[in-house]
Amino acid sequence: MSAKHKIDLYALTWRLPIILWQLIFFVGPVLFMIAISFFVVKNYRMTEAFEFVNWQRMLTRGYFWDSYWYTVFIASLSAAIAMFLAFPAAWALAFRASENLRRWAVFLLIIPFFTSYLVRTFSWYVILAESGVLNAMLGYVGLGPYKMLNTHFGTIVGYLTLTLPLAVILQTVTMANIDKTLVEAARNLGCKPLATIWRVVLPLSKTGFVVTALFCFILAFGDFVAPFYLGGSQEPTLPILILDTTKSGQQWPRAAVVAIMMMLTLFAVAFTAIVLAYRKPKGAR
Amino acid sequence: MEKSNKKQQKHYLRRDILRIGGGVALSAPFVGRAWAQTTEINMLAWYGHGEPDMVGAFEEANNVKFVPKYYAGGDNMLALIAQSPPGTYDIILSDGEFVQQLNAAGYIEALDPNDYPFEDMLHEDFTKFPGHWDGDTLYSMILRGGHLGVSYNTTAMSAEEASSYEGFWKPELKGKVGHFDWHLPNLGMMSLKNGNGAGLWDLSGDQWQAVQDTTMSLRQQVGGFFDYGGTFNGLKNGEMLAMCGIGDWITGVLERDGAPVASVIPKEGGIQFTESYCIGKGSSKADLVKSFIQYMLSPEGQVKSAQMLAYPGFCVTKGGRALLQQVDPKEAKRSHQMDGMPNDPIALINEGRIHYRDIPQQQSLEDWNDFWSEYKNA
């Protein structure tokens, strides 16, 4: 009994910092944000109150729902594209590359994160502008110029700048941990390459892939930079709506409503994704 | 012999280090005291006003140091003040239309009109600027202004096409018209296009609906909504060929660099932003701030304001304008601050083509902002 107590205290001591961290920097601010959503603004100053006016105002506005569904759609699309584009590179690194090459590749994929995301986003101006590098290259083969900045395409490029390296790294790590003899066995038994991916690699990587897609979605869903600077703020995503709401009239309580809706969405998506990721196939024990 | 020399050198070196080190140590209290004497002036302003090109000479001459806090938009300014203890800001640069609200909330000190060069003002309006006075009490001193109209790429639009807001609807500009992402100047311009003239901010329900309809009809032309950096880049790299909601304060910076852009005041009229200085309530450095405002209204200060690197503004005093023409005729000419030039800012005011930026009179700012969000989503 006393030994068990000692072990619990020992474990608690190590857990305490993370528990405190979460309480101070996550639970506390979230509770504060929820409280703020019921405050009112008078003469540009937030006044403590308990009124539903901000919720009513935001949730009955068409532009809020337009922004909401657009953000869900574009973040989902971006996550799907990131997963799709990352797969061939991750596959090659996991199954074809040597241990040494894989290590270098992962290191090179981390390097973009050394520079500020904002700087990386602005560098796309030079490449995507109508008079930019990409259109100049397309011009050599008689194509374009195409409008890429201030479009949905621009937004997706920005999101991928943020998520694609991460997706490659996470997919590589996931697939590198698959028992390669299972893949070889499938091939030896006559399974074609695509069927091997579909019937062996993907089921074995399910958890890692779902978590990767979830990360891509979360990062894109909350990103302000790409839709604002590369998407031209049209259509506005929820992070842009938060900025607009605070900019005019200093409506932090209404911005809090938008932020809470974003968090609820992310909770729902993350919960569903985790359930899917860890659900065992039928008949499995 | 050589060894002895080396020894001597080493000895001198050691002695030198001791001497220099001792000197530094002994002078430290004086250096500290000299630093301590530098007075910090907390400034709340639009970006650029606390930079060395604006305040450097005054800092050097008066042993002061400006500590700027920059904001973007009058609402943001009011919020920053509201959330700070009294006396936080010694000097506040406000947009003219927000001074009344600063005063109503008790955030600013009254000024003595005798301290400032009202007799030197270029226009009568600047002496009794709306909102700067409460009865006979002065609360804010006008510093500079700028006009907002049609900003365009001169290779894509002719001056004649830009002479009306209709130019934004030019079919060739589809997807190439940008908005500065702030509802007030954009909707103000749409109101002017609808012929509301001097009543552009005082809209009845029908007029407000008409302004919304006009704005919505522009949506298909629009290629994006931008902040200062985005507007700047959009015009510079040719992604945007016309911009609504701005004026020479952005195109002027690009024009100085040789970009083919310009801003004009269309026949329907333009909007003036006015920047003014206020002394923060409870400031313990009010006298120093007063000296700074006097300096900025002197011919030298006015020239600095007109040449401001972040964004230009026109002089409001005769002395400032005369000195600008003398020391920087190129900038005076570029910004039309010369008698007889078309688009001379003072002549435009005299002709009644300029309307001072204000806030909506019959609707709330929230109504305008709500519509702006709907417009962006359309």
Same domain, B126 and B236: no
How many angstroms away from the CA of A146 is the closest CA of chain B?
11
Question: How does residue A3 score in pLDDT terms, banded at 50, 70 and 90?
Answer: low
DSSP-derived letter for residue A279 is P
Identify the pLDDT of residue A7. 66
**CB B304, CB B53: distance < 8 Å:** yes
Say if B105 is an interface residue toward chain A (CB within 8 Å).
Answer: yes
Same domain, B239 and B126: no
Give the number of domains in chain A. 1
Structural domain contains residue A11: no
Tell me the average pLDDT across A252-275. 96
Same domain, B92 and B71: yes
Q: What is the dihedral of CA B316, B319, B325, B331, to 10 degrees?
A: -30
- The answer to whether the peptide bond before residue A145 is cis (omega within 30 degrees of 0) is yes
Dist CA A235 CA B130 (whole Å):
37
Same domain, B55 and B86: yes
**CB B192, CB B268: distance < 8 Å:** yes
Contact between A63 and B377 using a beta-carbon 8 Å cutoff: yes
Identify the pLDDT of residue B322. 97
Contact between A235 and B183 using a beta-carbon 8 Å cutoff: no
Helices (H), chain B: 2-37, 52-62, 74-82, 99-104, 124-127, 183-193, 205-218, 228-236, 248-256, 286-297, 299-306, 318-327, 329-334, 345-350, 365-377
- Residue A43, Ramachandran bin (φ over 0: left; ψ between -120 and 50: alpha; else beta): left
Amino acid at the residue A260: I
Question: How does residue B2 score in pLDDT terms, banded at 50, 70 and 90?
Answer: very low
- For residue B372, which residues of chain A lie inside 8 Å, CB to CB? 244, 248
Q: CB atoms < 10 A from the CB of B123, how many?
A: 16
Boundaries of domain holding A120? 62-278
Per the prediction, chain B carries an average pLDDT of 91
Structural domain contains residue B248: yes
**Closest chain B residue to A241, measured at CA:** B373
Structural domain contains residue B225: yes
How many angstroms away from the CA of B9 is the closest CA of chain A?
47
CATH of the domain at B266: 3.40.190.10
Please give the C-alpha separations between residue A90 and each of A29, A86, A209, A278, in angstroms, as whole numbers. 37, 6, 11, 22
Amino acid at the residue A121: T
Give the number of domains in chain B. 2
Contact between B75 and A241 using a beta-carbon 8 Å cutoff: no
Structural domain contains residue A21: no
Structural domain contains residue B13: no
Identify the pLDDT of residue A128. 94
Same domain, B339 and B366: no
In the numeric block, which tokens belong to residue A66?
């337009």
Same domain, B136 and B251: no
Structural domain contains residue B16: no
Contact between B72 and A247 using a beta-carbon 8 Å cutoff: yes
More confident residue, A168 or B257: A168
Structural domain contains residue A23: no
**CB B61, CB B170: distance < 8 Å:** no
**Among B40, B109, B135, B57, which Cα is nearest to B277's?**
B109
DSSP A225-269: HIIIIISTT-S--HHHHHHHHHHTTT-HHHHHHHHHHHHHHHHHH
* Per-residue pLDDT at A224 exceeds 80: yes
Question: How does residue A234 score in pLDDT terms, banded at 50, 70 and 90?
Answer: confident
**CB B333, CB B341: distance < 8 Å:** yes
Same domain, B122 and B63: yes
Structural domain contains residue A22: no
Identify the pLDDT of residue B376. 92
Structural domain contains residue A85: yes
Same domain, B237 and B360: yes
User: Tens digits of per-residue pLDDT, B252-276?
Assistant: 999 988 999 999 999 999 999 999 9
Q: CB atoms < 10 A from the CB of B191, how many?
A: 27
User: Tens digits of per-residue pLDDT, A41-72?
Assistant: 887 778 899 999 999 999 999 999 999 999 99
CATH of the domain at A100: 1.10.3720.10
**CB B222, CB B174: distance < 8 Å:** no
**Among B209, B326, B160, B349, which Cα is nearest to B272's?**
B349
The proportion of chain A whose per-residue pLDDT surpasses 90, expressed as a percent, equals 81
Same domain, B265 and B360: yes
Please give the C-alpha separations between residue B120 and each of B36, B112, B302, in angstroms, as whole numbers. 37, 16, 12
Boundaries of domain holding B56? 39-145+273-343
Same domain, B246 and B373: yes
* Per-residue pLDDT at B112 exceeds 50: yes
Question: How does residue A1 score in pLDDT terms, banded at 50, 70 and 90?
Answer: very low
Cα A120 to chain centroid, rounded: 17
Give the SS3 label for residue A149.
Answer: coil
How many angstroms away from the CA of A113 is the closest CA of chain B?
23
ipTM associated with this complex: 0.79
**Among B307, B365, B364, B368, which Cα is nearest to B334's?**
B307
Structural domain contains residue A24: no
Question: How does residue B324 score in pLDDT terms, banded at 50, 70 and 90?
Answer: very high
Same domain, B267 and B364: yes
Tell me the average pLDDT across B42-63. 96
Structural domain contains residue A256: yes
Same domain, B177 and B305: no
- For residue A44, which residues of chain B lie inside 8 Å, CB to CB? 75, 78-79, 82, 101
**CB A244, CB A236: distance < 8 Å:** yes
In the A/B pair of chains, how many CB contacts fall below 8 A? 100
